[in-house]
Amino acid sequence: MGEGTVVTGAKGFVFLAGNTATTDDYEPFKKGGGAVGDAAAQWRNILTNIKSDLEELGTSLDHLIKLTFFVKGPFPSGGVLSSPNFRQDVMDEFFAQHCPKHCSYNNPPPSELIGVAALAHPDLVAEIVAVAALPD
């Protein structure tokens, strides 16, 4: 996880909160199908939506400043990193394709990883908050 981000010359910021693998009616996408119970599919969907939202708002993954991850248990070893719902592999795969500088083995933006007992819908396993700069 990244240590810090210095922002200079930005004309503003974009705050994306409550990013989950849901459709417009807030049901998990592919209800009864691939996403329910599939942490990797949910992470891919969330990251794709974040990329799309950032681009729609005039910025991109390149300008990410901070990420916060909320991950639903279980936590077999007691820590959030032990949860099968935390998918660093999916994030690295996604960023390798769309923004390599943010892979965990490069220099990702600072982030927080928070374990939770539940999210807004019982079938959701992850939620991501993203903050990005608006470039000049």
Question: In terms of residue numbers, what domain contains 89?
Answer: 28-134
Within 10 A of 32 (CB to CB), how many other CB atoms are there? 9
Strand order in the sheet with 64-72: 12-19, 126-134, 64-72, 111-116
DSSP classification of residue 23: -
Q: Is residue 38 part of a domain?
A: yes
Domain of residue 120, CATH code: 3.30.1330.40
- Please provide the distance, in angstroms rounded to a whole number, between the alpha carbons at the two ends of the chain: 26
Q: Tokens at residue 78, please? A: 């007691």
The string of pLDDT tens digits covering residues 45-86 is: 999 999 999 999 999 999 999 999 999 999 998 899 999 999
Q: Is residue 6 part of a domain?
A: no
Q: Is residue 128 part of a domain?
A: yes
Q: Tokens at residue 113, please? A: 């990883």
Determine phi and psi for 3, rounding to 5 degrees.
Answer: -95, -35
Write down the pTM of the prediction.
Answer: 0.88
> How many structural domains are present in the chain?
1
Q: What is the pLDDT of residue 78?
A: 83
Q: Is residue 21 part of a domain?
A: no
